[in-house]
Amino acid sequence: MAEPVLLISSDPFLGASLEAVARGRVQVARLDLARRPVAWPAEPTATVVLDVAAGHGLFGITLASRYPGTHVTALDWASVLAVAEENARAAGVADRFRRLPGSAFEVNWGGPYDVVLLTNFLHHFDPPTCETIFRKAHAALSPGGRCVTVEFVPDENRVTPAPAATFTLVMLVTTKSGDVYTFSEYDRMARNAGFAQSEMLELTPAPLTTTALDLLQKRPGVYQLYKGADLVYVGSAAKTLPGRLSRHLQKIRGRRNVSIEEISFTCLYVDEDLTVLAPEERLIRLFQDEGSAPWNTNGFGNNDPGRRRDESLVLEKHFDALYPIALDWPCDTIEPGLHSAAALLAELKATLPFLLRYDSTAKAATEFAAATVEVPEEAMEAEQILELIAAELPDYQVTALPGYVIVYREARDYPSGRVIGAAY
């Protein structure tokens, strides 16, 4: 008969410097453990989960949402569980969500459970207390069950990585006996409590795809972007995470020297005023001190810089210089035939994965509408169509800057620009 197993997930970003506001205000947007065979029964049909110190309940609720056969029991104080139950109702899993109010140290956990979740909980206590919790988890698990915890886990030197190592100071100040523990310390505590083996997993970022973004709720939060294994950007979304990340997806798709397949992300929902909490600034400082997040200082997050910035020299380390726009982008939505310049410009502006800004005066609008452009074939490249437009608007200059394209009535040189087609 298989013995219960402890699985420890180490992910500094799941709490980072936001741990102090996590209870009820910061909610985890993703839970990769649900996708890992070692951490979850293969294609479970009737799995029973106990979520200890459930708080907002999102860990157990995420599992119930992903696996229709999963039933969750959430253990926490009654007032806290009222919030978790609201979240379960909003997620459509209230019929598979049960409340178990009380102290994790005093209430009977019941069981047997297939999975016991101990998320962001053990760091509040000293090792003997953690062993007590592990014993209760072991006793509540069915044979072969899993106990899963998400924690800050420093390296064995207790110095790296910095977020996990420095979190011990937070515990020193805010708890009676809390601490961060290395994997070997967790393994020892778990074995003392009867667990047969322990394994540490790192939560992996999700690919930056429309499929992944469709899984996110339309809520505010903070996020990180990775290029390969490297953290390159930390940002926040005051309105919705999927909306903000979708714009990044679109921007990166339209750049040279980088493939969207290289980009992945992690994120947290933050249900508080981001301007007050300022988590983005804290995270940027934290990771830039480690030499990460280079895109936070090279112009990646900028929107339209405005007319005054068109004349600026783009430095070689700027995002637009490293990853210039893909002017060979195929314009699949533009069909062969006659079009007004106004219609083509509007279609390009709406569909290109980079900024197209053009003269918006009434005079320009009239001239754009009067100019007729013949598109000879399907799926022409963006630069080819812009050349056709420039040929029919001799008084206007189409200029490709490293990060966007502009169309204005002018004839001038830009320090970082290149003229497309003809100018007068």
Confidence of residue 271 (pLDDT cuts 50, 70, 90): low
Which CATH number belongs to the domain containing residue 177 in this structure?
Answer: 3.40.50.150
pLDDT score at 4: 57
pLDDT score at 267: 83
Number of domains, the chain: 3
Picking from 151, 180, 203, the residue at the C-terminal end of a domain is 203
Candidates 226, 216, 230; CA nearest to 248 is 226
Picking from 180, 203, 226, the residue at the C-terminal end of a domain is 203
Is residue 223 located within the same domain as residue 168?
no
Percentage with pLDDT > 90 across the chain? 57
172 located within any domain: yes
129 located within any domain: yes
317 located within any domain: no
- Mean pLDDT calculated for residue range 157-186: 84
Is the pLDDT higher at 67 or at 192?
192
Confidence of residue 222 (pLDDT cuts 50, 70, 90): confident
Is residue 186 located within the same domain as residue 219?
no
pLDDT tens-place string over residues 300-310: 988 888 888 89
The two structure tokens encoding residue 8: 């420890």
Is residue 72 located within the same domain as residue 174?
yes
Is residue 76 located within the same domain as residue 154?
yes
Residue 163 amino acid letter: P
Which residue do the tokens 């390009």 mark? 348
Q: Hey, how many other C-beta atoms are within 10 angstroms of the C-beta on 402?
A: 20
Is residue 110 located within the same domain as residue 233?
no
Is residue 223 located within the same domain as residue 191?
no
pLDDT score at 333: 94
Task: Region of 322 please: left (phi>0), alpha (psi -120 to 50) or beta.
Answer: alpha
402 located within any domain: yes
Is residue 211 located within the same domain as residue 273?
yes
Beta strands in 178-229 (DSSP E): 197-201, 206-207, 221-227
pLDDT tens-place string over residues 278-292: 556 666 777 777 778
302 located within any domain: no
355 located within any domain: yes
pLDDT score at 189: 94
The two structure tokens encoding residue 356: 């197209």
118 located within any domain: yes
pLDDT score at 395: 95
How far is 326 from 343, CA to CA, in rounded Å?
21
Is residue 180 located within the same domain as residue 326?
no
Is residue 41 located within the same domain as residue 159?
yes
Residue 254 amino acid letter: G
- In which domain, by residue range, is 42 found? 5-203
Picking from 135, 168, 203, the residue at the C-terminal end of a domain is 203
Is residue 171 located within the same domain as residue 237?
no
Tally the residues of the chain: 424
pLDDT score at 96: 96
Q: Is the pTM of this model over 0.75?
A: no
pLDDT score at 383: 97
344 located within any domain: yes
- H helices of 153-311, where? 162-174, 183-192, 210-214, 241-253, 274-277, 279-288
Is residue 283 located within the same domain as residue 341?
no
pLDDT score at 13: 37
pLDDT tens-place string over residues 361-371: 999 999 999 99
Is residue 196 located within the same domain as residue 268?
no
pLDDT score at 5: 53
